[in-house]
Structures are given as structure tokens and as C-alpha cells.
Amino acid sequence: MKIGSWGGAALAVVGMLIANIAGAQTDQTKSQVFKSWTLECVTPKLPAGSTAAPKAFCRIGHDVHSPSDATKVQLIARARYVGTDRKPWFILVLPPEANLQAGIRFQVDKATGYHAKIQSCYPSACNAVFPLTDDLLKQFKSGTDLKLEFIANPQTDIKLAIPLAGFGAALEALQKTGS
């Protein structure tokens, strides 16, 4: 199966991710760990004089660290619900050297392999965003590892694995937040 461009919804997800990475000031951050995945909810600080109730932004995630330097993040994997129909989306933040044209290949354990486009690259990171279909959700919830492969310029094949232990429980907790 080939996952294509997802237009406005993908851009909205990437925009939310970038805004969140930009580090808006927050009143409160809550985290809960589910084995290899963490549920994070951030409530933004509202401008002075605002009467609106702050709305939490929640997502689940796993950071892949370099085996040689545990302080260095090689890849960021996130999932969150998007839109009024609350469909789950998967977000990969890749190194800026990722080859935009080649995209990213992935598979859960030994199941069918998939291909996703890398939607955008910036000086600090590249983003691949795609919906979690029913088939992918089933695999992510029952699988052991999500194997990823992409090309980093100049033509270096990068292979990484993301443990899926706790993904299903974290996604269920995320669903309950309503965010």
C-alpha cells in the first residue's frame, strides 16, 4: 500500500507539531508513561486578560536515541487525534538530511511494508505525516517493533526501530483525553 499526500489535514498536523516544538509557554504539562510510549498533555498559557478557557494539547510519543549518545535524538515518533472526526494520525520527525523524494519505508514486525511521503523539510527537521488506518492501528497495537528505513543525504540508508510496547494503551489514554 502506498500512502500519498494528505493535503490540508497533514499540513494542519505538521503546523500543530511545529507550534508545539517551538515551545509556547505553558501553565501545566502532564505526562504518563505506557512502557515505551508517553502520553503528554500541555495546557498553553493564555495571554494576559484572556477569558477563554485553556485547551490542552495531547499526544503520545516515543523518541529514538542514538546508541552512541543517549542525549541525541535520531527520530521522533508521535501520534494524535486530528479533526472533528478525531482520526488518529502518525507523525515522524526525521533529521533534516532525510531525502524528501525517497520518502520513508516502514513495517510492523514481518507484516506488509508501507511507504509514506516526507511532506516537508526545514533546516532543523523533516516531517512524514500519515493517517493510522484501521489496518495500521491493528498492527501497531499488536506488534513488537515498527521498523523504519529512509535515505539521508548523501545516499546513506538509515534503519531504525521503534518499540511498540505500550502503544495501544497510550493511544487509548490519548483517546480518553478528548484532545
The Cβ of residue 93 has, within 10 Å, a number of other Cβ atoms equal to 22
Does this model's pTM top 0.85? My answer is: no
Residues 96, 134 contacting (CB under 8 angstroms): no
Average pLDDT across the chain, whole number: 87
- d(CA 143, CA 110) in angstroms, rounded, equals 9
Residues 86-123 pLDDT 10s: 999 999 999 999 999 999 999 999 999 999 999 999 99
**Total domains in the fold of the chain:** 1
Which has the higher per-residue pLDDT, 126 or 10?
126
What does the radius of gyration of the chain's CA atoms come to, in whole angstroms?
A: 16
- Which amino acid belongs to residue 100? L
Residues 60-89 pLDDT 10s: 999 999 999 999 999 999 999 999 999 999
Residues of the domain holding 148: 2-46+53-177
CATH number for 161: 2.60.40.1880
Residues 20-36 pLDDT 10s: 444 444 457 899 999 99
